[in-house]
Amino acid sequence: MSEDGNAISAAGIILDVIEEGVLKGGGDYFLKEGESLWISVGNASVNIQHGSDGVGVVLYPLHREDEDSVAETWATWGEFGEASKNASE
**pLDDT tens digits, 31-51:** 889 999 998 888 999 999 999
H-state helical runs in the chain: 17-20, 77-80, 82-86
pTM of the full structure: 0.63
Q: Which residues have C-beta within 8 Å of that of residue 82, sequence separation ≥ 6?
A: none
Query: Which comes out higher in pLDDT, residue 7 or 83?
Result: 83
Position 60 scores a pLDDT of 94
**pLDDT tens digits, 2-20:** 344 434 444 333 344 444 4
